[in-house]
Structure 1
Amino acid sequence: MRHRRTLTAVAATLALAVPVIAATSASATSTPTVPTLTTAPEISVTDVKAHLAQLQAIANGNGGNRYAGAGGYTASVSYVEQKLRTAGYTVTRQPCPSCTAQSPNLIAEWPGGDADQVLMLGAHLDSVRAGPGINDNGSGSAGVLQVALTLARQHPAMTRRVRFAWWADEEQGLRGSDYYVGRLSAAERARITGYLNFDMIASRNAGYFVNNINTPLAASLKSYYDAIGVPTEENVEGVNRSDDASFRNAGIASSGVAAGASARKTAAQAQKWGGTANASYDSCYHSACDTTANIADVPLGRAVNAMATAVWSQAVGDGPPPAGDGFSLSVSPSSATVEPGGSATAAVSTVTTSGSAQPVRLSVSGAPAGVSATVSPSPVTSGGSATLSVAVSASATAGTYALTVTGTGTSATQTARFTVTVPGGTPPGGCGGVSAWSATQAYAPGDRAAHLGRLWNSTWYSTGAEPGAPGSWAVWSDAGPC
């Protein structure tokens, strides 16, 4: 969780179903007791802590932290990504131009459920420079990862699409989630039915806080704590201090859980939850002592099982797992900057997610004039990989272009996006010397850019909002062809 800054909140709600779960309880200082859920599997605290041990080892090997832009953050992304790809997720590294050293967000989507109704869960993966950030926010990151892996292992029938995110540069101002939300078109924002955030869920002097506790989106999270007899409160300390603010301020319903940061537990809260009154929830907040020794099992176990309850109640159907063969498709890296006359490659990976392996024919589309793209070999057997090769001619027009890699199997078709940026160059003739649009440049009202053979006038502040892309009307006005 980052230090406080002021943002404008936008109220949003979403109607959700609330699961019924068996009630048990545990004190804040006893061995964790996790209830048996009727709609969600139990999430193992031991497995979550194994991920935390890996994040601690990464920090130990990288100067004691996992700060965005540094080696510890890069290694953390690689660890989470490898786990997700092996489990069959479609995984994308999204470069964040506004983040420290363009540190990437990591986005993973499970290939099942209604793609027009997306439930998102997220946690920031970066730490501060002062320490390894195992509670802040290894705890949320590891919890989200284990729920994602459990969903893949269970492979249930899905009613909604579930998308997981690990954000870059939260500690420097919510930069990763701000960039992600800012790049969404109006249609893409409308598809996200709710976002759940998990930041610092294992504080040793824990409180039990739910974001936007009285909204329908929070109901499935709160129902878990209600069923085990643990009272919850509104997360006042965390307002506008974590990545849920990026979604809420874009009109997307948001909630989540937290165990508290540097604020002090009141006497009433200590009586209700146990622990020490007038002491901070996490005495190692933003400090070198935020290590695996700073993790409390009880609140961690409760938070990850509340997380699973929300996913299963909102996105998992009652029917049997999908029959037949299935596969996922991903491209890594998901973007490249290629100078005119240059080239780039990326790995195209397929994973068998159910049934038997199948042949998958690979193709790529969307390359503009002056850019060529091929995938080889094709076909591959699911579980195999290929190489995407992109070549940019010396006369290619500067701009950012989205290529679509398509995998056509015998049971389904999957797609993944690869973005190629051609820097420099000369804008199309007739634009009066206006520079080509750049994905990394900050634009203000009144600025102009040339892109895709047209002249564009900036009507609002933006970075990375591509002129002509869906939803770009909010920041760009089309001034006609060049």
Structure 2
Amino acid sequence: MGNRVTIPTLSAGIVLAGLLWSAPATAAPPETLAAPDISLANVQAHLNQLQSIATNNGGNRAHGRPGYQASIDFIRSRLNDAGYTTSVQSFTSNGATGFNLIADWPGGDTSNILMSGGHLDSVSAGPGINDNGSGSSGLLEVALTVARTNFQPQRHLRFGWWGAEELGLVGSTFYVNNLPAAERSRIRGYLNFDMIGSPNPGYFVYSSSGQPTGSINLQRALEAHFATIGVPTELTNVGGRSDHAAFARAGIPTGGLFTGAEVTKTAAQAQKWGGSSGVAFDRCYHRSCDTMANINTTALDRNADAIANAIWSLAAGSTTPPGPRFENPTDVPIPDLSTVESPITVSGVAGNAPAALAVGVDIRHTFRGDLVVDVLAPDGTAYNIHNRIGGSADNLTGTFTINAASEVANGTWRLRVRDAGPQDIGTINTWSLQF
């Protein structure tokens, strides 16, 4: 991952995968929507190979160095053997030749491409096993699992491994900028995986806020696996720090996963995810110690499965269209040591609410550790989504999910906010329900 510092923003909870595009006329068989489990042992084997390549080539896999060329050769050989159509694109940066590796899985609608990628280069200081051997290896194993299971999605699948990311997103930018306009328009979504095995991990999903239209659907697809295993996520604004940026600038919807770099884990995050507060998510970021010993295998396993889940669901399509969205944008002041409510009236939705009802919340407050936030169903049942965590941080913004399958959808839902501590005040800025 590149050097620009970014601060993760809070989004406690997760939502189900949405559609990337409208449902096709002929839906994929339901069984194709379930992604297979991705073998952690296989991902680790790919990482071991990248470590060996670095060890045998001066300790790194950096742009213009022999270790990078060997990394490209290794990944390409595995993909060719699995039946992919591969190509290597060359470019020049800092007086050296760099390479992008592109792999297409045969079949699917080539006017409707779902692309996934991550950078393959390391910094010159070390082997780059977490940054970004982890994303590269997870993506490789997902691509090989596509071939192993003979997955035949309705959308065309394309994978990319980028060069010279560490020099300023050079490879991915070169790829996007050199696509003819017609080819660029066929890429309907891009998923980016950069650092998915940090040793003191967080579980971050790229925020769709400020990204091209349609990015919210990628965000939800990436959040979905974590919802099923009960692991909360936070949204992060990665900005121009990784390879999705070139695609976003071209108007292509983007999403991605990240387990953290040099920023330190907060006490609230350690309480939520485990690990050590006050310590960087990756203490070996851009250092020689970014080796096989710098990987958290639980995070690597969870993220590899999340990658597969998103690719399978987005590429295979779904017969279920997204449900309606209801919002209350009216500001509701939250006085000190008080309880306030904001209503949303839902109508026209048949049957019960979904098992993963998405609750979007934007609460502006000077001390979110004071807040207790519940969603009240029409029958008065309370679903807690925030209970005085977050320490001295301000504001509570993001998307939560609640299992509301036992609740009738139509009726008046309420967001109840209790300020349980002294001295701080705020406002319910807006909130929403996505059925």
TM-score range, shorter chain: 0.5 to 0.7
Which residue does 2:41 correspond to in 1?
Answer: 46
Which residue does 2:292 correspond to in 1?
Answer: 292
SS at match of 2:191: strand
Match of 2:71 among 67, 71, 76: 76
1:201-280 mapped onto 2 (5 Å cutoff): 201-213=196-208, 215-236=216-237, 238-280=238-280
After superposition, what is the alpha-carbon deviation per residue over 1:402-435, rounded to whole angstroms, capped at 9, x for unaligned?
A: xxxxxxxxxxxxxxxxxxxxxxxxxxxxxxxxxx
* Cα RMSD for the two superposed structures: 2.2
Distance 1:311-1:147 versus aligned 2 partners, 3 A rule: same
The letter for the 1-side match of 2:274 is: G
8 Å contact from structure 2 (residues 121, 128) kept in 1: yes
Query: Are 1:165 and 2:160 counterparts?
Result: yes
Q: C-alpha separation between the residues in 1 aligned to 2:153 and 2:142?
A: 15
Distance 1:3-1:318 versus aligned 2 partners, 3 A rule: closer
SS at match of 2:51: helix
Which residue does 2:3 correspond to in 1?
Answer: 3
Distance 1:154-1:100 versus aligned 2 partners, 3 A rule: farther
The letter for the 2-side match of 1:232 is: T
The letter for the 2-side match of 1:142 is: S
SS at match of 2:232: coil
Q: C-alpha separation between the residues in 1 aligned to 2:269 and 2:74?
A: 37
Which residue does 2:190 correspond to in 1?
Answer: 195
Q: C-alpha separation between the residues in 2 aligned to 1:2 and 1:157?
A: 34
After superposition, what is the alpha-carbon deviation per residue over 1:222-267, rounded to whole angstroms, capped at 9, x for unaligned?
A: 011111111111123x321110111111111100100000001111
Which residue does 1:416 correspond to in 2?
Answer: none
Q: C-alpha separation between the residues in 2 aligned to 1:223 and 1:99?
A: 40
8 Å contact from structure 1 (residues 157, 318) kept in 2: no
SS at match of 2:91: coil
After superposition, what is the alpha-carbon deviation per residue over 1:368-404, rounded to whole angstroms, capped at 9, x for unaligned?
A: xxxxxxxxxxxxxxxxxxxxxxxxxxxxxxxxxxxxx
8 Å contact from structure 2 (residues 34, 309) kept in 1: yes
Q: Could you tell me how far 1:17 is from its partner in structure 2? A: 7.8
Q: Could you tell me how far 1:158 is from its partner in structure 2? A: 1.7
8 Å contact from structure 1 (residues 192, 252) kept in 2: yes
SS at match of 1:108: strand
1:109-148 mapped onto 2 (5 Å cutoff): 109-148=104-143
After superposition, what is the alpha-carbon deviation per residue over 1:252-286, rounded to whole angstroms, capped at 9, x for unaligned?
A: 11001000000011111111111111110000000
| Percent of residue pairs bearing the same amino acid type | 53
Which residue does 1:64 correspond to in 2?
Answer: 59
Q: C-alpha separation between the residues in 1 aligned to 2:306 and 2:315?
A: 14
* Aligned length in residues: 294
8 Å contact from structure 1 (residues 265, 277) kept in 2: yes
Q: Could you tell me how far 1:97 is from its partner in structure 2? A: 2.9
8 Å contact from structure 1 (residues 131, 288) kept in 2: yes
Q: C-alpha separation between the residues in 2 aligned to 1:201 and 1:130?
A: 20
Q: Could you tell me how far 1:100 is from its partner in structure 2? A: 5.5
8 Å contact from structure 2 (residues 20, 189) kept in 1: no
Q: C-alpha separation between the residues in 2 aligned to 1:97 and 1:48?
A: 30
SS at match of 2:311: helix
SS at match of 1:16: coil
SS at match of 1:155: coil
8 Å contact from structure 1 (residues 156, 316) kept in 2: no
Query: Are 1:86 and 2:87 counterparts?
Result: no
Q: C-alpha separation between the residues in 1 aligned to 2:94 and 2:207?
A: 27
Which residue does 2:181 correspond to in 1?
Answer: 186
Distance 1:243-1:99 versus aligned 2 partners, 3 A rule: farther
Higher relative contact order (CA 8 A, sep 6+): 2
Q: Could you tell me how far 1:315 is from its partner in structure 2? A: 1.3
Match of 2:20 among 16, 32, 35: 16
Q: Could you tell me how far 1:71 is from its partner in structure 2? A: 0.3
Match of 2:169 among 170, 174, 187: 174
The letter for the 1-side match of 2:104 is: E
SS at match of 1:285: coil
8 Å contact from structure 2 (residues 139, 304) kept in 1: yes
Q: C-alpha separation between the residues in 2 aligned to 1:148 and 1:100?
A: 32
SS at match of 1:166: strand
Q: C-alpha separation between the residues in 1 aligned to 2:317 and 2:188?
A: 16
Q: C-alpha separation between the residues in 1 aligned to 2:95 and 2:296?
A: 30
Q: C-alpha separation between the residues in 2 aligned to 1:87 and 1:316?
A: 20
Q: Could you tell me how far 1:15 is from its partner in structure 2? A: 4.1
Query: Are 1:101 and 2:105 counterparts?
Result: no
1:306-385 mapped onto 2 (5 Å cutoff): 306-316=306-316
Which residue does 1:55 correspond to in 2?
Answer: 50
Q: Could you tell me how far 1:213 is from its partner in structure 2? A: 4.8
Q: C-alpha separation between the residues in 1 aligned to 2:204 and 2:196?
A: 9
Q: Could you tell me how far 1:38 is from its partner in structure 2? A: 6.6
Q: C-alpha separation between the residues in 1 aligned to 2:197 and 2:206?
A: 16
SS at match of 2:171: helix
Q: C-alpha separation between the residues in 1 aligned to 2:317 and 2:254?
A: 22
Q: C-alpha separation between the residues in 2 aligned to 1:247 and 1:104?
A: 18
Distance 1:249-1:5 versus aligned 2 partners, 3 A rule: farther
8 Å contact from structure 1 (residues 157, 317) kept in 2: no
Which residue does 1:414 correspond to in 2?
Answer: none
Q: Could you tell me how far 1:156 is from its partner in structure 2? A: 2.2
SS at match of 2:158: strand
